[in-house]
């Protein structure tokens, strides 16, 4: 009996709130909402993510022999190509300092952007593409080694 009263009370409060505070349409309930596999924006983002990965692979393949090893990368785009990123993760702070001191990070930035253009990234937004560098040690210090927390 108590559960029935609680359900009734909840329904009554919901009806009352809907009269005084109408909800706004949201993307989730909007009739124009598309599942991801049918959303053209999602397909565009995935296409640009592939371009970013291929360009980064090509830039690293051309890297000078004295570039310290890149441990990992955080790559991708979000809403269109203007929000693209490539963050190269070196193993240690010393590796990052060596690469920076020898201007290899500058080289890798330019090589990445050059490869992006060769792989079909839009030239009109290439200056907005963010290439950055970090060490794994920094990720450990700031986020306990959790890459997801560090990059989001």
CA–CA dist 13, 20 (Å, integer): 11
Tell the residue number behind the tokens 């959303």, with chain if given: 39
Q: Which pLDDT score is estimated for 7?
A: 64
Listed as ranges, residues in the chain with pLDDT below 70 are 1-10, 13-37, 79
* DSSP line for 35-102: -GGG-HHHHHHHHHHHHHHHHHHHHHHT--TTSPPEEEEEEEEESEEEEEEEEEEESSHHHHHHHHHT
CA–CA dist 112, 144 (Å, integer): 28
State pTM to two decimals: 0.73
Q: Which pLDDT score is estimated for 5?
A: 59
Q: Which pLDDT score is estimated for 77?
A: 83
What are the C-alpha distances in Å from 104 to residues 55, 56, 65, 117?
17, 14, 10, 20
Q: Is 75 exposed, middle or buried (0-12, 13-18, 19+ CB in 10 A)?
A: buried
| Residue-wise pLDDT tens digits, 16-37 | 666 665 554 444 445 555 666 6
Rounded to the nearest integer, the mean pLDDT of the chain is 84
| Residue-wise pLDDT tens digits, 37-55 | 677 877 888 888 999 999 9
Parallel, antiparallel, or unpaired for β 130-135 and 70-78?
A: unpaired
Beta-bridge partners for 134: 89
């Amino acid at each position: 009996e108590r559960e029935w009263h609680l359900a009734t009370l909840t329904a009554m409060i919901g009806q009352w709130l809907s009269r005084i505070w109408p909800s706004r349409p949201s993307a989730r309930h909007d009739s124009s909402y598309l599942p991801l596999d049918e959303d053209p924006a999602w397909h565009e983002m995935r296409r640009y993510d592939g371009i970013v990965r291929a360009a980064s692979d090509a830039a690293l393949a051309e890297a000078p022999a004295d570039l310290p090893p890149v441990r990992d990368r955080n790559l991708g785009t979000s809403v269109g190509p203007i929000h693209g990123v490539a963050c190269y993760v070196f193993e240690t702070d010393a590796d990052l300092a060596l690469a920076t001191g020898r201007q290899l990070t500058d080289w890798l930035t330019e090589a990445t952007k050059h490869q992006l253009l060769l792989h079909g990234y839009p030239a009109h937004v290439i200056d907005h593409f963010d290439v950055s560098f970090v060490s794994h040690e920094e990720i450990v210090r700031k986020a306990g080694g959790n890459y997801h927390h560090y990059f989001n």
